[in-house]
Homo-oligomer: A and B are copies of this chain.
Amino acid sequence: MAHLQGDLAKVLIEREIKPSYHRIRIYRYLVENRTHPTVEQIYSDLQKELPTLSKATIYNTLKLFSDKGIAKTMTIEEKEARYDIVEENHGHFKCKECGDIYDFKIDIDDLGTGDLNGFKIDQKDVYFKGICRGCQ
């Protein structure tokens, strides 16, 4: 436990992220709080110990983490909702480059319901992200 900060710093360095103090603390927060926190939550919790922390830093840092692959955003990365006629058995692929969204066939019901016993599942969505053929 004594080397926690150091261990975390190592992870950042491996991913080519300079381990500044704030970055380490934000990363540590994510590791210790597996609760899908919002920026707001991260901010209000960490501010108790880091009074000068600003939201802008959190946004910057999370964006950096996402780019480097050690954290990810849980929305499909849209601030604008998009709408769809209800239709079964397809997933959505979003190209990071051109932003286009492609449908692809997938049997979503093949997905087991995992360990969701007793849960009522109304909707199943599968989202992939990457680079489409045309943008490679």
Determine whether the beta carbon of B129 is less than 8 Å from that of A123: yes
A116 close to chain B: CB less than 8 A: yes
A98 close to chain B: CB less than 8 A: no
> Which of the residues B36, B120, B122, B133 comes within 8 Å of A101, measured between beta carbons?
B36
Number of chain A residues whose Cβ lies closer than 8 Å to a Cβ of chain B: 63
Majority SS at the chain A contact face: mixed
Determine whether the beta carbon of B106 is less than 8 Å from that of A83: no
Contact with B along A18-61 (1 / 0, CB 8 A): 00000000000011001011111010000000000000000000
How many identical chains are in the complex? 2
> Which of the residues B30, B36, B73, B80 comes within 8 Å of A39, measured between beta carbons?
B80
Q: Kindly list chain B residues whose C-beta atoms are within 8 Å of the C-beta of A116.
A: 93, 102, 104, 128
> Which of the residues B76, B104, B115, B130 comes within 8 Å of A74, measured between beta carbons?
B76
A100–B64 CA distance with the chains assembled, in angstroms:
26
A residues touching B (Cβ–Cβ < 8 Å)?
30-31, 34, 36-40, 42, 62, 65, 69-76, 78-86, 91-93, 96, 101-106, 110-133, 136
